[in-house]
Amino acid sequence: MISSKPRVVITHWIHPEVVTFLKGFCDPVLNESRRTWSPEILREHCLAAEGLMVFMPDTVEAAFLEQCPNLKVIAGALKGYDNFDIDACTESGVLFTNVPDLLTVPTAELAVALLLGVARNCAPGDRYVRSGEFKGWRPIFYGSGLAGKTVGLVGLGAVGRAFARRLGGFDCRLMATDENPVAEEILEELNISMCGLDDILASADVVALFLPLNEETRHLVNARFLERMKPGSILVNVCRGSVVDEEAVADSLERGHLGAYAADVFEFEDWALPDRPRKIPARLLENREQTFFTPHLGSAVGEVRKEIAMEAALQLKSFFSGEVPEHAVNPSIVE
């Protein structure tokens, strides 16, 4: 029997509670594995679909949309949508929604974890304990504490502000740069001073990146950027991999100028960039003493991921109920 409900494809595993909610208003096609579908399998599922829920490993471009003539709405279970061609969606009459708020705190928390992990040599220390060589305290693995250090934030949007709030108890000096004005009361609350990028690079012991990926920010962190950083300083990236030139980072680490690099995001993940690298540079992976990496865990908090998927499902329900979804990126499609 053919269902009268709209067919909606869910590209990655979601919590059972979200599946139950979806079944109340649509006919979901589920990826019940923990793997990413190949482009061919995804297109096959989407040929007759009216809705689609996408996640970070996915990408949507004009060619894909041409093969899915019935598609009306795409709900991103994500905040940043760099991997999705919004202009192509608009031209094809497809509404795109995202989830802008729920990832802020988990991402900021992970940025703090990465900073502490690389500054205090947590990964090398863990390997040392597991190796069987640990015989009790020795004067090794001396790292850098945060008390009294200067932390520079490149970007002071929602995640940057959440990061600054969480550093409030570490006795750091906080400074930030952002192309958008920030209200004075927010700066007072965060105990942070605004300055130029040159000032941050010259004086910060830690530089943390909180930027969107666009033409202006791609490879903002290049050889020249790194050379201007304070010798021995730490770079933390939880925004987008391609904001950083990873080969330039590897060079700077090898030369001893950059002290350490911690990241949750990598260039190869930015699927929409045709000239992106296909893997993390081997030099970075092999450098176990100056790097600390996590596999895109920014939103990897169980309850938060369920909330994100549920919010994406709510955007779909709103659309199929004839309403304008709250988090529509291109709302002119339905207005």
Instruction: Give this prediction's pTM.
Output: 0.86
Catalytic residue among 120, 166, 276, 296: 296
- CATH code: domain of residue 204: 3.40.50.720
Catalytic residue among 269, 305, 307, 327: 269
Q: What is the pLDDT of residues 265-283, one digit of tens each?
A: 999 999 888 899 999 999 9
The pLDDT score that the predictor gives to residue 300 is: 82
Label residue 148 left, alpha or beta by phi (over 0 means left) and psi (-120 to 50 means alpha).
left
The pLDDT score that the predictor gives to residue 270 is: 92
* Nearest residue to 209 (alpha-carbon basis) of 248, 244, 233, 258: 244
Catalytic residue among 161, 218, 240, 305: 240
The domain tally of the chain equals 2
Asked whether residue 305 carries a pLDDT value surpassing 70, the answer given is yes
Catalytic residue status for 224: no
* Nearest residue to 207 (alpha-carbon basis) of 166, 242, 163: 163
Domain of 108 in residue numbering reads as: 104-293
**Mean pLDDT of the residues in the chain:** 94
Answer whether residue 262 is part of any domain: yes
Whether 97 and 327 have beta carbons less than 8 Å apart is answered as yes
* Nearest residue to 265 (alpha-carbon basis) of 305, 233, 294, 299: 294
Q: What is the pLDDT of residues 189-230, one digit of tens each?
A: 999 999 999 999 999 999 999 999 999 999 999 999 999 999
Mean pLDDT score, 1-23: 91
Residue 318 burial (C-beta neighbours within 10 Å; 0-12, 13-18, 19+): buried
Catalytic residue status for 296: yes
Taking the C-alpha atoms of residue 145 and residue 204, their distance in angstroms, rounded to an integer, is: 14
Tokens of 207: 């530089």
Does residue 151 sit in the same domain as residue 287? yes
Does residue 68 sit in the same domain as residue 87? yes
Does residue 68 sit in the same domain as residue 155? no
Catalytic residue status for 307: no
Does residue 315 sit in the same domain as residue 248? no
* Nearest residue to 265 (alpha-carbon basis) of 251, 252, 284: 284
Whether 26 and 10 have beta carbons less than 8 Å apart is answered as no
Does residue 110 sit in the same domain as residue 77? no
The pLDDT score that the predictor gives to residue 299 is: 81
Answer whether residue 2 is part of any domain: no
The pLDDT score that the predictor gives to residue 2 is: 57
Does residue 116 sit in the same domain as residue 27? no
Does residue 141 sit in the same domain as residue 222? yes
Does residue 29 sit in the same domain as residue 111? no
